[in-house]
A and B are shown apart, each in its own frame.
Chain A
Amino acid sequence: MPIKCPVAPLEFAFLADHYFSKRGLRNKVDIHYVTPLPGAFTRPKASQMLGGMLDQKGIRLTADFGIGQIDNERKLIVSWDEQELPFDLLVTIPTHKGDAAIERSGLGDELAFFPTDKHTLQSSNYPNVFALGDATDLPASKAGSVAHFESDILTENLLQAMAGKPLTASFDGHANCFIEAGYDRGLLIDFNYDTEPLPGKFPFAGVGPLELLAESRLNYLGKLAFRWAYWNMLLTGRDMPFVASHLSLAGKYLN
């Protein structure tokens, strides 16, 4: 807590549901999704949609549960406000923090994340330092896509800073994530600081072929195709076609 990528634990729950169904054990397994967030996701539309998927798959949801301690003898998780939930197998993560090196350096905030301007990506305290990715304290997901989009902005601003010019590139908090839904289906969400994940088509307005904030087989294939794109395009420094650093509202249904 706080969860820096609320998608990851959801995928675990969806995949566990699929796995136990395939093994013919699903009716003997109770999957319970417990989160400190107020719902299945941080923003309203996606929270409703993903919460509905949990419900449909028979996965129980308990929100606003901040784990204060684990009672291994009684097999209970206990929240800070003293609610108790039983478990047989607990899958959880410790508090998500920045790197120990940042903590030792004294450059980090209370969670060892590096204070960074959320638009220019310049350090809040040192004009000659820029930061991106999981190291920063930006109010964006700690996700690969975020670091990827940030890199375009950071490069531009770094070059401007070195030339003594004002910083003109501005990061909008763009994140783009596939979500594994189990059963060889997937979702895609595309959002930024100001625009929550919305339903729609991606990357081409009205056409897709990928669906935003909806489950589809093609989204899952998109995720599989991205594995190749990751190694052969992103890591080799080529541009991802049709996916820009800034969020586009084209193709999103605003209401």
Chain B
Amino acid sequence: MTTKLLAGRTLEVDAEGYLLHSTEWNEEIAKAVALEEGLPELGEGHWKVIYFMRRAFAEKGDGPSIRQLTKESGVDTKALYQLFPKGPAKKAAKIAGIPKPYGCI
């Protein structure tokens, strides 16, 4: 089992650094992970996406795909990539403390 020190707490994470227990998440942890992912500031748009991801995960048991994100969160693809460059679904899931979306195999 891999553990990681985030925002002063030791948390269980998977091999790629995704939290194993999404219930242990809080906003301080989100900020710490975001910093590691190259996002020093989390603005309103980021939090909107992060909380959308957490809600979707709580309801469906899987993180939303980019397509679901853009269809349902009200943030369009372009904006999503500006908020979370490279892989928005993967990156936002990591910061939101939910497992890596299993969308592609």
Identify the A interface with B (CB < 8 A).
1-6, 36-38, 42-44, 64, 66, 68, 79-81, 95, 109-111, 139-141, 175
Give the interface SS of chain A, mostly helix, strand, loop or mixed: loop
Chain B contacts of A110 at CB under 8 A? 65, 67-68, 71-72
- Does the CB pair A42–B81 fall under 8 Å? no
Name the interface residues of B56-105: CB closer than 8 Å to any CB of A: 62, 65-68, 71-72, 77-78, 80-82, 85-87, 90, 102-105
CA distance A111 to B67 in the complex (A): 7
27 inter-chain pairs at a CB distance below 8 angstroms, sorted by A residue, are: A2-B65, A2-B104, A6-B104, A6-B105, A36-B87, A38-B87, A64-B86, A66-B87, A68-B77, A68-B78, A80-B77, A80-B78, A80-B80, A81-B85, A81-B86, A95-B67, A110-B68, A110-B71, A110-B72, A111-B65, A111-B67, A139-B62, A139-B102, A139-B103, A139-B105, A140-B105, A141-B105
B1, CB-defined interface residue at 8 Å: no
CA distance A6 to B103 in the complex (A): 12
4 tightest A-B CB contacts, nearest first: A80-B81, A2-B104, A139-B102, A64-B86
CA distance A175 to B81 in the complex (A): 32
CA distance A54 to B90 in the complex (A): 24
